[in-house]
Each structure stands twice: as C-alpha cells, then as structure tokens.
Amino acid sequence: MTAAGAVGERLGEAFSPTLRLGVTGLSRSGKTVFLAALVHNLVHGGRLPLFAPYAEGRLSSAGLAPQPDDEVPRFPYEDHVRALVDERVWPSSTRKIAQLRVTIEYESARVLTRRFGSGRLHLDLVDYPGEWLLDLPLMHLDYAAWCREAMDEAARRPADAAPFTTALQGVDPSAPASEAVAQALAEAFTRYLKDARADPNALASLPPGRFLMPGDMEGSPALTFAPLPITASEAAPGSLQAMMERRYESYKTHVVRPFFKDHFARLDRQIVLVDVLAALNGGPQALDELRRALRGVLSCFRTGKLSFLGALVDRRIQKILFVATKADHIHHADHDRLERILKHLVAEAVQTAEFSGAEVDVAAMAAVRATREASVTRGGETFLTIAGTPMEGERIGERVFDGRKEVGLFPGDLPDDPREVFETPRDEYGVTTLRFRPGRIETAGEVTLSLPHIRLDRVLQYLIGDRLQ
C-alpha cells in the first residue's frame, strides 16, 4: 500500500473506526476454528463474562458486513460453523487467504461520549495458510544464507530429506544453468517439504510455503528453485547458482513481499496461536523447532507506537497476545502451567516486542471446547480427568476409537517449572492427547447457544476491549 493509500485509509477510519486483527499461527494451530468461534460468539451472544462490553450490557449488536478488500476471498464463516455445529467435525485447513468484517455496535462506557450516540467499530479479520507465515523471514535472507539454513535443516531431518540430498549428489553450483536440473531439484525439494509436513510430530512447515500450495503459480520459474551446497560468495554469470538465486529473489519479490505489504504490514493487533501441547508431545527437539520457527516469524512483526502524523502513513502492531490453543485437552488445574511454558517458549520474542513499545500477554484458550472435566478415584487417589468423544480412528495403544463413544482420559500433569519440558524427555512428565470431536451445542429453551469455549472472552477483552470503551 502506498503512503497516499495509507493516508486515505486512515482518514476514512476517522469517520468509520476500524481495527485490523491479525490471526497468526503455524499450521494446525487452530486459526480457522478461532475465527469461526470468535465471530459466532460475537454475533450470537455467547457466554463472555470477561468481555466488558458484553458483560456490562453495552454491546448492542454484532453482525457480518461486506469486507473492505474486493480482491480478497471471503472467509467461509457459515461453512465452518456448519461443520462445527451440525457435523461435529473440525473445519478443513486454510488453503488460501480469506477475509471477514464484523461490525460491532456498542454504547460507550463514558457518560460524555454516550451523549453523541452509539459507537461503531469495524473488526477486520484475515485468515491465511500457516505455510505462508514461515515465508516472512525469507525477506531478511539472501540466497546464500537461505541455502545454509535449508541445508542445516535437512541435516536435522535425514530421513525426510534423503531423496533431495541424493538428487544433489554430483550437482555443481558453478556449472552452466540447466532448466532440466533446476526442475529436477525443485521437484525433489518439494517432495522433501511434503514428507516433512506429513510427519505427525511436525509443528512447522519449512519454507517456501507456496511449494506446498502453488495455486496458479505452479510450474512458474519463481517456484522452480532449490537450495544448493554453495561455497562461492558470488555466483558466476550464467551458472546454475545464478539461476537459482535469481528465482529465489523473484519468489521473494512476487510472493513474500506482496503478502507482507498488503496484509501483514496493515495490522493493528496480533494474536499468535501456538499448539504447545503438540510440541510437548514431540519432546525437547520439537519444542526447540517451534521456538526457532516463532523467533523467525516474530522478527518480522512491525510493533510499537506511532506519533499522530506517523499513524497517518503507517501502521504498527500495538498489542500482541500469544495463545496456547486446545486448552480443553488438559484439566484447568494445568492451565497456568501451560501458560508458563508458552511464556518461556516466546521469551526472546516478547522482550523484543515490549522493547519497541507493544503490549504483550499470554493465555491458554480453547476457541471451541470439545471436552468436559471430571474426576476418577482409584485406590483412594483422585485423578483429574477430561471426557469427550475422540475422532474416529484416534487410538491409545491398541485401542481404536469409533467417533461415537465418549471416553474419560487422564491427560497427565505438566511440571511447575517450565524449563523442565525443554530439558527432559517427554516421557518423564507425560502428556496424553487425543483429537476430540467438537462438543454438542447446548440449547436453552428454543434458543441455541453459541459455541462453548475456554477464555475466548478474556482474549476478546485484551484484543479489542479498549476500543469499545
């Protein structure tokens, strides 16, 4: 967006206040579910006791409105809610960028402001594939630096990377450029990325993200490159290395930077969803992988406060909330421990963001609650458990679930000291998780209630509560 466009957007918001909320997270972190649940609870009046405008009776209405960017597909909110409520299945993963606007009508908490009439806030929400998120750090890496990082990552995944490293054997980066060699290496590299992504313990896809979902760019030169074991600091003209470097830079120019400029750089608030429980199941190595991925992504955030004139031509993220998702997979007695683990996980990024003036917090949340809590007494000892209906095909040991029967589960205990999970094998603290079906929606008389959640109201209060005063 140009400076003139930014000024025009800001002046328009003076008469029609707008808040752009970035919903960020790696693949499988729950972005789509979060967006559907947030909108459903706002529009249908969910149980939101910690969301001040709703709790105080000041939220007059919230409804869907035409989105501001005509060129961006609409977020299929109705389809996702239908999957959650009617079919009791989780929505399909995001495959492309999508947008939705919710218009909130409210009464101000300030007596003087109320005299001027009701307030209105447009809340703009953007959803996009988690794979795209990991492309942002490429903006700070030249081809040689990316090659070193990619080859180091391949060394950490020898099984997944074997076909690609085999294809690299005998390849001379200084040899003349060859389209056939470039295509063969790009295909082998893409297979490696897909194999790494298919690993059930994988927490983050490897960049470039568009290699996994090329869309209409499939087969283009901008997606026909791969890392090389280069040694020369500068590529010889006409060499294979020069061809790969040119295409890598083209990918950044035509894919990464437009995504950052048109969407990521226009955000006011940011929520970062993190599947901490999946990382815990993978052990210290998976946690370290997640920490490295988040560190790279968060280095691209533009945070801090702007002067009045600066705010006319630029946007900065003023609030960031890190959220550990799927909190319903453990008992609430462990939620504080889960938050401490998340805080330890993002400590470096938090220090950087706070230093630049942004407010930062952490929370444990389930956007859609799929379990309820219970307790079991055995041998005089009481165990805090959860109960829910596992998805069909889920298993514990030899037991395979059919997707219909509810079961009770003791998920284990998290340690009080968050450093333990980064230093000790997973089986020493033990967390057992299953994928549960979304819970049945309750009814009160003839009224169907909103999607159940854990702390969605606290999340809403932190992210937008101050804009509804």
- Residue 187 and residue 285 in one domain: no
Residue 136 inside a domain? The answer is no
**121 near 101, Cβ under 8 Å?**
no
Amino acid at 347: A
Closest CA to 91 of 36, 136, 141, 171: 36
Q: For residues 327 and 457, state if they share a domain.
A: yes
**Do 357 and 320 share a structural domain?**
yes
What is d(CA 38, CA 450) in angstroms, rounded to the nearest whole number?
10
What residues have CB less than 8 Å from 272, skipping those under 6 apart? 24, 25, 294, 298, 320, 321, 322, 323, 346
> What radius of gyration, in Å, describes the C-alpha atoms of the chain?
24
Residues 39 and 172 in one domain: no
The residue from 225, 255, 285 where one domain ends is 255
Q: 334: which 2 tokens?
A: 């462990």
Q: What is the pLDDT of residue 342?
A: 96
Spatial distance between the Cα atoms of 419 and 283, rounded to a whole number of angstroms: 12
Shared-domain flag, residues 358 and 462: yes
Same domain for 387 and 442, yes or no, is: yes
Query: What is d(CA 257, CA 170) in angstroms, rounded to the nearest whole number?
Result: 34
**Same-domain status, 109 and 147:** no
**Does any domain span residue 74?**
yes
Residue 206 and residue 176 share a domain? yes
**For 131-140, b where at least 16 C-beta lie within 10 A, e where not — what string?**
bbbbbbbbee
How many whole angstroms separate alpha carbon 363 and alpha carbon 324? 6
Residue 110 lies in a domain: yes
Mean pLDDT by 10 residues, the chain (469 residues): 46 69 86 95 91 94 93 93 93 87 92 69 90 89 95 92 95 96 97 86 78 87 96 90 98 94 88 91 86 84 61 71 95 95 89 80 96 86 90 92 92 90 75 86 66 96 95
The domain that holds 112 is classified in CATH as: 3.40.50.300
> What integer pLDDT is reported at residue 274 of this predicted model?
93
Residue 135 lies in a domain: no
Q: For residue 134, tell me if it sits in a domain.
A: no
Residue 140 per-residue DSSP state: G
Residues 233 and 118 in one domain: no
End-to-end CA, the chain: 30
**In the structure, how many helices (H) and strands (E) does the chain have?**
18, 14
Pair 335, 412 in one domain: no
Segments forming the whole domain that contains residue 171? 141-255
Give the three-class secondary structure for 24. Answer: strand
Per-residue model confidence (pLDDT) at position 377? 82
Burial class of residue 20 in the structure, from the number of CB atoms within 10 Å of its CB (0-12 exposed, 13-18 middle, 19+ buried): buried
- Structural contact between residues 274 and 323, judged by C-beta atoms closer than 8 angstroms: yes
How many structural domains is the chain composed of?
3
Of 237, 255, 273, the position where a domain reaches its end is 255
Q: Please say whether the beta carbons of 453 and 46 come within 8 A.
A: yes
133 within a domain of the structure (yes/no):
no
Residue 294 has what pLDDT?
86
Are 145 and 251 within 8 A, CB to CB?
Answer: no
Residues 54 and 37 in one domain: yes
Q: In this structure, is residue 40 part of a structural domain? A: yes
- Does residue 419 lie in a domain region? yes
Domain end residue (candidates: 231, 255, 279): 255
Element housing 382 (H / E): strand 381-388
Specify whether 282 is located in the same domain as 401. no
